[in-house]
Amino acid sequence: MHSDLTNMERAEVLTAALPYIRRYAGKVVVVKYGGNAMINDQLKQQVMEDIVLLWLIGVRIVLVHGGGPEINDLMDRLGKKPEFVDGLRVTDKETMDIVQMVLAGKINKTLVNLLEMKGGKAVGLSGMDGRLLQCSMKDERLGYVGEIQKVHIQPVTDLLDRGYIPVVSTVGCDKNGNAYNINGDTTAAYIAGALGAERLIMMTDIAGVLKDKNDPSTLIPQITLPELPSLYDSGIISGGMIPKVECCAKALSRGVRNVVIMDGRVPHSILMELLTDEGAGTMVSNGETPDDRQSGWE
């Protein structure tokens, strides 16, 4: 903390946040949490602080998390060798058990715990709770890798209505009671869509969409859907950014107002995105109203 700031300077910062607070109060924001921000402990603490602050100022916030390296860790320790089909990892029943334990048992509850420690009220959900994430098998050869068939969003809205921060782990289930591992970005897009979220924030380990992948100063701050084809063609969107951007498009098509691909390595990036003018990372929107502010004056 900058102890050299006077209280008055602090007060000025707070009042400067006023128009942004006004804009997001009562709105739904979904945060896909992952990458470095999940591994680095200081970043993790800051993300949790940001989430609780947003919750306190009235944002209806939902946290969606995947698993990170902890799944591999436990598999390793259990002497479980990853299998591959066409270069894709296979999730057999035993691996799925491990995934479920790590996601729904360890990470989910640890995040809930952190949010509570920061002063929030949180409840963790898996895709089994209230049958939130109904899946089918994506590809028989890959085993229990799930494709979302339907989102029963009720448990999430029930918790939001009762004033909690829902924390969702990306474990789904099918009609026969089998558990599935689901892609985190896709889950976040579906949940944000089902909630008609104001914003979906995808935390990644890159500054956003860059013209030159090696030069963060070439960040493209705003992309609209109609611009996507040319960005694909020019190779600006390529590699791991392709599925990420596709998730953004999916979320927009399901009713999310706009999506931001954001650098989770930057401290307090969520707050900066939502509560300052510059924002952070690359915002993807339908192209109609890329950055309008909702004003009472019409």
Q: Per CB under 8 A, which of residues 147..206 are in contact with a second copy? A: 149-150, 152, 155, 158-159, 162, 164, 171, 173, 175-177, 179
- Looking up tokens 């296979």, which residue turns up? 90
Q: Is 163 left (phi over 0), alpha (psi -120 to 50) or beta?
A: left
Which of 121/250 has CB closer to a second copy? Answer: 121
The residue range among 6-14, 181-189, 217-225, 254-262 that interacts with a second copy, by the rule CB under 8 A, is 6-14
By CB under 8 A, residue 221 contacts a second copy: no
Which of 119/216 has CB closer to a second copy? Answer: 119
Residue 253: CB minimum distance to a second copy, A: 20
Question: Tell me, what DSSP letter sits at residue 210?
Answer: B
What is the arrangement of strands in the sheet containing 146-151, beginning at the earlier edge strand?
146-151, 133-137, 171-173, 179-181
Binding residues for a second copy restricted to 224-253, rule: CB under 8 A: none
Distance between CA 217 and CA 86 in Å, rounded?
37
Residue 4: CB minimum distance to a second copy, A: 10
Which of 101/231 has CB closer to a second copy? Answer: 101
* Binding string, residues 257-296; x marks residues near a second copy by CB under 8 A: ---------xxx--xx--xx-x-----------------x
Beta pairing class for 258-263 and 199-204: parallel
Which of 105/287 has CB closer to a second copy? Answer: 105
Q: Among residues 114, 110, 124, which one has the least CA distance to residue 52? A: 114
| E strand or H helix that includes residue 151 | strand 146-151
Q: Among residues 162, 205, 147, which one has the least CA distance to residue 55? A: 162
* Binding string, residues 108-147; x marks residues near a second copy by CB under 8 A: xx--xxx-xxxx-xxxxxx-xxxx--x-------------
Residue 238: CB minimum distance to a second copy, A: 29
By CB under 8 A, residue 95 contacts a second copy: no
Q: Among residues 63, 62, 61, 59, which one has the least CA distance to residue 23? A: 59
